[in-house]
A and B are shown apart, each in its own frame.
Chain A
Amino acid sequence: MSQTLTSDQKDALQEVTNIAMGQAASTLATILSTFVTISVPRINIPEVSEIGSAISKMVGNGKEVTAVRQSFAGHLRGEAIIIYGQEGCRDLADLMGYDEDIDQSAERELLLDIANVLIGACLNGIADILQTGLTFAPPSIMAERVIINSLIDPTQLTWNNALLVEVNFTLEARNFSCHLVTLMPEDSIERLKQAIDTFMENF
């Protein structure tokens, strides 16, 4: 069975994500001591067969990317993916407490760190507003320098739907931006819908 959001639910989720990301931006700014701009999130629930193409469209067809994945559990469960463009986040090394020159292993650690911070900020924000809590597993590198179109193999996905939250992070005076994708199984999307309904009633 495929899940769709009513336009009210979609608006509400968009708003919830927007508030969460706004808070994320300000806490990130504190951590990184730089101005963080976050795009208004765009929400989409594609069918499993369209997940790959939806992600390719979002990031840009044929682009070379590096991706980090991290699973989360609790009232909502699923997997979040941060997709970095080719420039990665080498430019952020000094902001995260690294010395200027970083080797490959430090770069990977940085990719993992940034992904963890962004995913946590986004999902904790949503969970807070929906009054639930999440726990996170360690992030890991999903793919390095692959063409975006081959990042996700739909035949490997066991879930029928994904919640695609498209958010762009941009840092002032830094060459950095990335995309966040959240994949959740149906039961979690159902719970999310219920939580959104509760949230709308109380708002």
Chain B
Amino acid sequence: MNFRADFHIHSCLSPCASLEMSPSAIVQQAKTVGLTAVSLSDHNSTFNLPAFGKICEQEGMACLYGIEVTSLEEAHILCLFDQLDAAMELGGLIYDSLPDIPNIPEKFGDQPIINEREEILGFAEKFLISASRFDVSSLVQEVHALGGLIVPAHIDRSMFGLIAQLGFLPDEDFDAVELTAYGDPALALHYPIMRNSDSHHLNTLGKAYTDFEVETLNVKNLRSNLWKK
């Protein structure tokens, strides 16, 4: 079965994302633009994943559960799971490791936690753009121990990609590296390539995507498919 996937999408929880980015709006828009698999991956937090999971189930949308971790190196690293509880566990570890710097909504934007009916349950208190205490190597170990995929995000960008932060792509057990829509594949070295939109607004959903030919959408199948390409 072919899946057209965009695995890097932010919800309204991310302070830099539009408040229109509710799980149901994301899934509706994903259908409109022809995506058949999506993942929600907010900055350093997983509070909106339960609502996202329910909406995907209701709407029959294949999904992964994600988080975009800011590593100790201040590089953005996409972590993807096929099990909600594993993603929530990593989310808890990452959020707890963020410094106790509160979000200032007037300056950075709100960080609302919502349910599947788009009711606001509360707000993430810590500023989600801070860096976690996990360096890339320890994050690789943690994500793999929890059964997920680890993918350095937008390595072709001039800010917050792993190459921008370090000056090179380190030799780690990454499952793939992420490029933006037109990013140079040569940057990926020997790693498989995944392209995602990194959407913070509805109108960019699916502007970058990756096709996967797998029986069912899970971490194991995606990993073997990535390395086959």
Q: Is this pair of chains taken from one and the same complex? A: no
Binding site for A on B (CB under 8 A): none
Residues of A within 8 A of B (CB): none
